[in-house]
Structure 1
Amino acid sequence: MVSAVTVQETGKLPLALIVDDSLSNRMTLEAMLRIQGFEVITAENGESGVNQFRELAPELVLMDVQMPVLDGIEATRQIKSHAGDNFVPVIFVTSSEDEEIVKRCIDAGGDDFFQRPFSPSTLNAKIKALRRIGNLYNEVRGLNSLREREEDIAEQLFSNAIESGNVADSKVRIYKRPAATFSGDVQLTAFRPNGDLNVLLGDFTGHGLTSVIGALPLSETFRAMTRKGYSGEEILLQINRKLHGLLPSGMFLAASFVTLDVSSGHARIWNCGMPEILLMDGRSKELKKVIPSADPPLGILSELDLTPVENVQVNPEDRILLMSDGVHEARSPKGEMFGEERLLMAANKGMKHGNLMDQVVFSVGAFMAGRTQDDDVSLIEVPGYVQAPPQSFEQVGQNSIEKVSEDEHWKWSIVLRGGSLKRVNPVPLLLGQLQELEGPGEHWQHLFTVVTELFVNALDHGVLGLDSSLKSSPEGFAEYFQARESRLENLSDGYVKIRVSHAPIDNGGRLMICMQDSGKGFDHQAWLEAIAADKIPDDGLSGRGIKLLMEMCESISYSEEGSRVDVSFAWSNS
């Protein structure tokens, strides 16, 4: 409805359409409307009224009910259809007192109704009321339009700033179908410096624009800590602390997190308030394991005590399926939920036909049968093996040592004792320090592997006294990690000392790394001789770390009965 302000701005009177087969009625209504400041057009039947509405777009329609050619009820349906999202009030004017006719008029889209005879003041009051409704409608429509534009911008920001950095690997499949313009689900993937793959599927409370509050810091924390080599547990704990201080009361993040360890063929899985994670066997084509939620969602508690990580062996043909609760809670037209039983049937069928995620998505869509979804639907399908993008740099051999300037050296050290060995991972601290001092570079990915191997050996085999031969079988691998968690939990003494010194060389640098632990040491000479004689099986886990260090470092030497190891790692920036 056009307001008085619009008239003043445009210099035109608002246009009203009168549709009535009675000439006297048309003349009476026209006189009343002109007094109220309207320009008036008339039509003697519904068909003519619809045509004039389409041609001249009036802002108000007074409609008779019973007319030849096309009655007022059908004419109103056509007018409302043509008006679309524009609010054009239609007032029915009739002499009938039949309640059924009144109901049909309202059902057809009529906005008001009055009977003859009526006074000009009554008509004036109804028009003023509809004008107020029209103004409010236009205001709400404008606000909705603004909100939609903001959501479109937020969705572009979400896609560009958050999801565009995901791993570009066709084997890691991601599906997202938001319930609104903006999804409250977040899918993140990234490689650690040693080639392990981190995957996070998060579901913020509700859906829509408010979820961007947490999505940006979530993605920044995930990528930065993954890039520096932090473990999945450390990343989840930091995300929890950040979201707890940021999110408003009542808002939190349910999350599934997977670290795919490409070197050991294992997956480490955390489930914080999400639906069950499915591990599908690529050989039997059936369900291999279900990982339910064992921890609360993130952002609720200031500090989170995560349960021990779920370690599972995976084959390259296996598939890990993460999903948001929008899958389980999808509803049919009758209101029935999709549920776990239908999900497992779809997953098993999908594995047999080689289209796990596609089959689940298809089954959910067929079950909903066109019903509007209540929540965001998200899935991530992770294969049992993903190859990290190849990285290349030139290693510097022993014969390439250049003169070192003493004033360019720097040193870094840390000592971890007792319980701090459970709480602190020194590897990302060292990598962060290196990047601060020496800048970014592909060589840090290789160094991450070296330092991680040294620290894990010092902690696991030195301080905790774990036997690496346990990892020679899947059952032993699980036993190994259970024992590790138990001994770490009860650790009260012991230490690991790390000292690193840097010396620049031509177009590169060299790090001397010393790792010493409080353990009893081991027969390192026997291992070195076995590796030199090529007696370490390639498919074995025990002893492979020492062989890896020998391949990646310039030199490696053990002392103090094996509780201390010194390595030299060099690189070239060319």
Structure 2
Amino acid sequence: MSRSQMLTRLATHNDPDASRARRVLVVEDDASLRLLLSAVLTSRVSEFELEVSEAPSFKAANAAMQDQHGFDLVLLDNYLGDGEGVDLLPDLMAAAKSWDRAFVPVIMISGNHDQSFLASCFSRGASDYVVKPFDVNLLAFKVNALLQSQTVQEQLAEQNSLLLELIAEREQEESMARFAYDYLLRRTHLVDQGVFAQVVSCSAFGGDLVLSARTPGGRYLFMLTDATGHGLSAAITLLPLVRVFQGMAQKGFGLQQILIELNRHLLSDTPDDRFVAAICLELDPLRDEIKVWNGGMPALLQVGQDGSVMSRVCSSHMALGILSDDLFDVALEPLSLVDTHYLLMVSDGVTEQMSPEHQPFGHRRLEMCLRADPDITLDVIMQALEHFRASEPVMDDLSVCVVAPQRVLQSLSDDSMKDELDPLTSLRHHSPFKWQLSQAGLELGQHRVPLLFSQFLQEMGADQALSERVFTILAELCANAVDHGLLGLDSQIKEQVDGFTTYLALRDERLSQLTDADRIDVLLSWTPTGENSHENAGLIIEVCDTGEGFDMQEIQKRQDRMMSGRGLVLVASLSTQLEVLPPGNLIKVRIG
């Protein structure tokens, strides 16, 4: 039976056997009285179709009870020629179980008025008692009432059985969903050095999720999300978000591009009434900077060395999954790392948690929990929440995240490319190699080249630090070649209000117009150390596009005045030598 069928049965209280004939056994040794009882049943019990069977003795009644179809009601005389009816009651109760009846009523018929005898009948399982001589109308009324009660009992038993099936099916589905959900969290929920996070769900599934990822270029991305609603429906909303976040981070996309794609997927893959509030961080060890995006979450607190609040980054954006591309804003707010000890982020379940006196925890209590040591702050907040809510249940998913940027950046920099004394150590004894790749037309929008070359280097034996360095260099050079060399985009657009969204929209439009004649060529070559000299040792990266080129000196002047468009400055800091060859469409970089 399908779930919809079970639900229909539950909703309509439909008993599949309600229309069947009811089988009644009359146990009476007096033939005339037996005939009277049968006549009363067939003529005066009109609400049910009855099949009446007769047993003239104790022995015959025992034999009738072996009938596999069983009976729905028994009229039982006590004084039988070969025994007493009261002694049949235990066997009747046992037989009822084999007949698959939830309830088999028995009406005792006797002239005995003794109270102790009546008590014995009821204690052994009798449902009612009729004293001889009896009124036939009263007997018919009792039979009708007991059969109706039996019908209700059967319906309840049927509904309970269906309900247990539904519960078992739901538990099985939730168990499978929980397994998949936990597996997803194990693959995506990374708590790194300098990051302290705790999530408490108000049900088996949660709508709050902490995500972190490191891009191939060495940037660290962090996201705290709060999906609409609670339980499984909220958790399911996060599935497309997790997939996109992890996939794009692995390919080296920046936070702004990831946010745009997350918003698109939530708009297309989830119902209209579902959205995801989020607060996101992007930490870049190469630039020593941190940027924040807050869409619909409580304010991020920037905490100083003494545990005091230096600034608050309030929500200035709509949550993900609400606005279309042309209205969605991905502007990031930069934060100064000077004197920043840690950043505190919470979901609204924390500030809105109620006490037994129906008071919210609030922002003031949250800030009172701040401590100079970020390691302690998380525990202090969770303990304060536990004490505050006392006996009150967790009303919403609770998430508390503490990020110490300097610790995160330090952990990223310990093995990073800019701290490597000899970035070519892992290739020093490798034979020469050269790999060239061309990409043209619509494929240029896929951002595959940096990742492919980074993976190629790792296959050739390069360590992670060098692979990340090459990825970062190629990401900047390929973006420069496509955006400026082929598409003719101006980085100054990003400096305007909503400039990044405008820039990406214009980029998508011009990308769609590219042909196979529009191409970039990338060359990676390794020349190992010579026998007597280190002069020729080096890793060479060349990126050439089919565009018209640009004036490098003019670009450098503009970069000094702009927040964006500083990619070549970063490339120069990661390389030994950088050359832009005339007419400006060929850039050559040397490491080593």
**What TM-score do the two structures reach when normalised by structure 1?**
0.62
* Secondary structure class of the residue paired with 2:371: helix
Find the partner of 2:377 among 340, 356, 369: 356
Q: Letter of the aligned partner of 2:278 in structure 1?
A: A
Contact 2:523–2:542 (CA under 8 A) maintained in structure 1 = yes
Contact 1:265–1:313 (CA under 8 A) maintained in structure 2 = no
2:119 is aligned with 1:26? yes
Q: Residue 16 of structure 1: CA displacement?
A: 10
* Secondary structure class of the residue paired with 2:552: coil
Distance 1:415 1:560 in 2: 23
Hey, what does 2:553 align to over in structure 1? 522
Q: Letter of the aligned partner of 2:395 in structure 1?
A: D
Contact 2:244–2:262 (CA under 8 A) maintained in structure 1 = yes
1:483-532 CA deviation, whole Å, 9 max, x = no partner? 797699589999999541356889x9964234889654239999xxxxxx
Find the partner of 1:224 among 231, 240, 247: 247
Describe the shift of the 1:281–1:147 C-alpha distance in structure 2 as closer, same or farther (beyond 3 A).
same
* Secondary structure class of the residue paired with 2:274: coil
2:221 is aligned with 1:202? no
Distance 1:201 1:487 in 2: 23
Find the partner of 2:405 among 384, 395, 401: 384
Q: Residue 564 of structure 1: CA displacement?
A: 5.7
Tell me whether 173-182 or 140-149 shows the greater mean CA deviation: 140-149
Contact 1:328–1:337 (CA under 8 A) maintained in structure 2 = yes
1:163-184 CA deviation, whole Å, 9 max, x = no partner? 4343352421221111111112
2:337 is aligned with 1:318? no
Task: Mark the structure with the bigger radius of gyration.
Answer: 2
Describe the shift of the 1:374–1:30 C-alpha distance in structure 2 as closer, same or farther (beyond 3 A).
same
Q: Residue 198 of structure 1: CA displacement?
A: 0.7
Find the partner of 1:241 among 264, 280, 284: 264
Uncovered stretches (5+) of structure 1, i.e. residues with no partner: 37-117, 417-423, 467-479, 527-540
2:398 is aligned with 1:373? no
Contact 2:237–2:274 (CA under 8 A) maintained in structure 1 = no
Distance 1:185 1:505 in 2: 50
Hey, what does 1:112 align to over in structure 2? none
Tell me whether 207-216 or 182-191 shows the greater mean CA deviation: 207-216
1:452-484 CA deviation, whole Å, 9 max, x = no partner? 454688889x98688xxxxxxxxxxxxx99679
Describe the shift of the 1:172–1:315 C-alpha distance in structure 2 as closer, same or farther (beyond 3 A).
farther
Contact 1:174–1:379 (CA under 8 A) maintained in structure 2 = yes
Find the partner of 1:336 among 359, 383, 399: 359
User: Matched residue pairs, number?
Assistant: 438
2:522 is aligned with 1:500? yes
Q: Letter of the aligned partner of 1:445 in structure 2?
A: E
- Superposition CA RMSD, Å: 4.9
Q: Letter of the aligned partner of 1:222 in structure 2?
A: F
Find the partner of 1:277 among 279, 292, 299: 299
Contact 1:174–1:380 (CA under 8 A) maintained in structure 2 = yes
Contact 2:469–2:574 (CA under 8 A) maintained in structure 1 = no
1:356-410 CA deviation, whole Å, 9 max, x = no partner? 2222222222221121122111222221131238479855779977476xxxx64
* Secondary structure class of the residue paired with 1:213: helix
* Secondary structure class of the residue paired with 2:226: strand
Contact 1:413–1:499 (CA under 8 A) maintained in structure 2 = yes
Q: Letter of the aligned partner of 1:521 in structure 2?
A: M
Hey, what does 1:550 align to over in structure 2? 575
Q: Residue 154 of structure 1: CA displacement?
A: 1.9
Q: Which aligned pairs between 1:451-530 and structure 2 lie closer than 5 A?
A: 451-454=474-477, 499-502=521-524, 511-514=541-544, 520-522=551-553
Find the partner of 1:296 among 314, 318, 327: 318
Distance 2:556 2:226 in 1: 52
Q: Which aligned pairs between 1:106-185 and structure 2 lie closer than 5 A?
A: 119=142, 121-126=144-149, 128-185=151-208
* Secondary structure class of the residue paired with 1:153: helix
Contact 1:254–1:297 (CA under 8 A) maintained in structure 2 = yes
Describe the shift of the 1:161–1:8 C-alpha distance in structure 2 as closer, same or farther (beyond 3 A).
farther
User: What fraction of aligned residue pairs are identical, expressed as a percent?
Assistant: 22
Hey, what does 1:253 align to over in structure 2? 276
* Secondary structure class of the residue paired with 1:350: coil
Describe the shift of the 1:370–1:548 C-alpha distance in structure 2 as closer, same or farther (beyond 3 A).
same
* Secondary structure class of the residue paired with 1:235: helix
* Secondary structure class of the residue paired with 1:355: helix
Distance 2:587 2:474 in 1: 11
Describe the shift of the 1:149–1:511 C-alpha distance in structure 2 as closer, same or farther (beyond 3 A).
same
1:63-110 CA deviation, whole Å, 9 max, x = no partner? xxxxxxxxxxxxxxxxxxxxxxxxxxxxxxxxxxxxxxxxxxxxxxxx
Tell me whether 281-290 or 165-174 shows the greater mean CA deviation: 165-174
Q: Residue 427 of structure 1: CA displacement?
A: 8.9
Distance 2:445 2:438 in 1: 11
Describe the shift of the 1:431–1:11 C-alpha distance in structure 2 as closer, same or farther (beyond 3 A).
farther
**What TM-score do the two structures reach when normalised by structure 2?**
0.60
Distance 1:315 1:365 in 2: 34
Contact 1:350–1:360 (CA under 8 A) maintained in structure 2 = no
Contact 1:464–1:487 (CA under 8 A) maintained in structure 2 = no
Contact 2:103–2:154 (CA under 8 A) maintained in structure 1 = no
Distance 1:312 1:194 in 2: 21
Hey, what does 2:438 align to over in structure 1? 412
Q: Residue 196 of structure 1: CA displacement?
A: 1.5
Describe the shift of the 1:484–1:228 C-alpha distance in structure 2 as closer, same or farther (beyond 3 A).
farther
Q: Letter of the aligned partner of 1:277 in structure 2?
A: A
* Secondary structure class of the residue paired with 1:224: helix
